Amino acid sequence: MICMTAKELFEKIDEAERNLSTAVRKVEVLKSIAERITSSLQDEVVSHSINVHSHEESIIRLSEAKDALNLVSANYSSLLDFITKKLALLDNEDDEALLSYYHLSHLPLNDISVRLHHSKTWGYRRYDIAIRNLDIIVSDVSEEDLPQIAG
């Protein structure tokens, strides 16, 4: 069993976010294609089997993409839930907020420091401490313990 570090855990959530964004874009594109084909068929007498086939094919692809999006979304939610539970185990609430804002909300450390009512340099110093503390908490987590990331 190979244990993960906190940074590797955050890399997994970043990968899951990218997969989610890709799945959303794919659904949007396929929906647009299906709508264009549908609108082009509305004005014609549908006697061309090629047009009907392409319409059916676009609907099938859209349906498959929506199913994939639901799976990726569920996986992302599971992983996010897993990570937030680990963050909640940190003793220092500022560490939890710092790591959450930085890795999950993607805010810069300067902004986080101000939001948490600390000096701007505090965030840089505290980040290393917070990551080390989270490393201790996730030291028993392996790749197999994480929800699967569907791509």
Burial bucket for residue 113 (CB in 10 Å: 0-12, 13-18, 19+): buried
Domain borders along the chain are 6-145
- Read off the tokens for 37: 């084909």
Which tens digits make up the pLDDT trace of 82-99? 999 999 999 999 999 999
* Higher-confidence position of 147 and 106: 106
According to the model, what pLDDT value does residue 150 have?
44
What average pLDDT does the structure give for the chain? Answer: 85
What value does the mean pLDDT take over residues 67-74?
Answer: 93
Tell me the one-letter amino acid at 81. Answer: D
The pLDDT confidence band at residue 10, using thresholds 50, 70 and 90, is very high
Of 29, 19, 21, 5, which is closest to residue 83 (Cα–Cα)?
5
For range 39-54, the mean pLDDT:
54
The two three-digit tokens of residue 14, written as one number = 């970043």
DSSP-derived letter for residue 102 is: I
Q: Using N-to-C axis directions, what is the helix angle for 49-88 and 120-137, rounded to 10°?
A: 90
17-42: per-residue pLDDT in tens? 999 999 999 999 988 887 776 655 55
The whole-angstrom separation of Cα 68 and Cα 71 is 5
Q: Which residues of 22-55 are buried (b: 16+ CB within 10 A; e: fewer)?
A: ebeebbeebeebbeebeeeeeeeeeeeeeeeebb
